[in-house]
Amino acid sequence: MKMKTKQLFAATLTSIALSGCAVLHHVQVGDVDGNLDKAERFEVLVSETGINTQEAASIAKALTNDSKTKKDIQAVQDIISLFQMGPRTGNLVYDEHYADKVAREVVSRCPNGHVTGLMSVRETTKYPVVSGEIVKIVGYCIKKG
Amino acid sequence: MKTLIKSILKISIVAMAVSQLVGCVYLNSVSITSIPKDRTHKVMAEANKFMFMGFNFNNDYINNIPADLARQCPGGKVQGVLTKDENVDYFLYFFWTKKITAEGYCVKGS
């Protein structure tokens, strides 16, 4: 009975960890036209995989019993941390251009119309060690005619 | 003397408890767009989500902010939009609310 409770607790924790927590970093709303009932809503989403080196190091340390290996892992983690200082949102990504295509994508969703009500959102979906670093644009396209 | 210390202690505990319940506000980001000349009609939209220990599985609650602003300005254009992103912490970040506020000016005939 005791074992079943433990298993249930572990399963609950695992499912919470795997479902991914959504973190909202920044929201910005632009000018909005009042006649959105005639407009078509669109959403542009770009994302990149983020890596949490601190969590990765903690897991690696938990998997070994050798104290020297643990020290080495910590040393590597400390060196990596030195290169990641400064203000940031979410985890680090290895492609700094992943959000560059956002403007092009917005235009492609409304090629011959007027884009209004743009809301840009920067968010993270967190999982153990990795994360989805997301830029989302919500907008409305008012077509001509 | 002993009673005085006891009373001070009681008051301090109550004051600390009350200060925890009031809620601290943290401002994450602010943005603003160009402000129009006509600033007579103000419009405002707000989205918030109460969270327990930060458990939050999507941010869809903010999706209707532009539409909410537009609804308050039929036939016009909402300009000078100030967007605020805040966290309201009620108790040691066990309970908190994420609050997004957008307010601007409805300009008719633009």
Query: Number of A:B CB contacts under 8 A?
Result: 91
Residue with the bigger pLDDT between A17 and A103: it is: A103
B107 touching A, CB under 8 A?
no
Nearest-angstrom CA–CA distance, B105 and A33:
11
Overall average pLDDT of the A102-127 stretch: 93
If you search the block for the tokens 């011959």, which residue do you land on? A112
Confidence band, pLDDT 50/70/90 cuts, at residue A92: confident
Report the pLDDT value the prediction gives residue B110, as an integer from 0 to 100.
Answer: 66
Taking an 8 Å cut-off on Cβ atoms, the answer to whether B67 and A27 are in contact is: no
Report the pLDDT value the prediction gives residue B36, as an integer from 0 to 100.
Answer: 95
What's this model's pTM, rounded to 2 decimal places?
Answer: 0.78
Nearest-angstrom CA–CA distance, A105 and A110:
9
Q: Looking at beta carbons, which residues of chain B come within 8 Å of A32?
A: 66, 69-70, 73, 77-78, 81, 104
CA distance B67 to chain A (A): 7
End-to-end CA distance of chain B: 72
Q: Looking at beta carbons, which residues of chain B come within 8 Å of A119?
A: 62-63, 65-66
Taking an 8 Å cut-off on Cβ atoms, the answer to whether B57 and A19 are in contact is: yes
What would you report as the CA-atom Rg of chain B, rounded to the nearest whole angstrom?
21
B75: left (phi over 0), alpha (psi -120 to 50) or beta: left
DSSP A92: B
Render chain B in DSSP notation, one character per residue: -HHHHHHHHHHHHHHHHHHHHH-EEEEEEEEE-PPPS--SSEEEEEEEEEEETT-----GGGTTHHHHHHHTSTTEEEEEEEEEEEEEEEETTTEEEEEEEEEEEEEET-
Nearest to A27 among B58, B71, B83 (CB): B83
pLDDT of residue A11 exceeding 80: no
- List per-residue pLDDT tens for chain B, 110 residues long: 788 888 899 888 888 777 666 668 889 999 999 999 999 999 999 999 999 888 889 999 999 999 999 999 998 999 999 999 999 888 777 888 999 999 999 999 76
Closest CA in chain B for residue A139: B66
B104: nearest Cα among B84, B82, B85, B86 = B82
Overall average pLDDT of the A18-35 stretch: 87
- Residue A57 · residue A76 · CB < 8 Å: yes
Q: Looking at beta carbons, which residues of chain A come within 8 Å of B69?
A: 29, 32, 117
pLDDT of residue A80 exceeding 90: no
B57 touching A, CB under 8 A?
yes
Q: Looking at beta carbons, which residues of chain B come within 8 Å of A41?
A: 67
Closest CA in chain B for residue A116: B66
Nearest to B73 among A16, A22, A34 (CB): A34
Nearest-angstrom CA–CA distance, A117 and A33:
7
pLDDT of residue A94 exceeding 70: yes
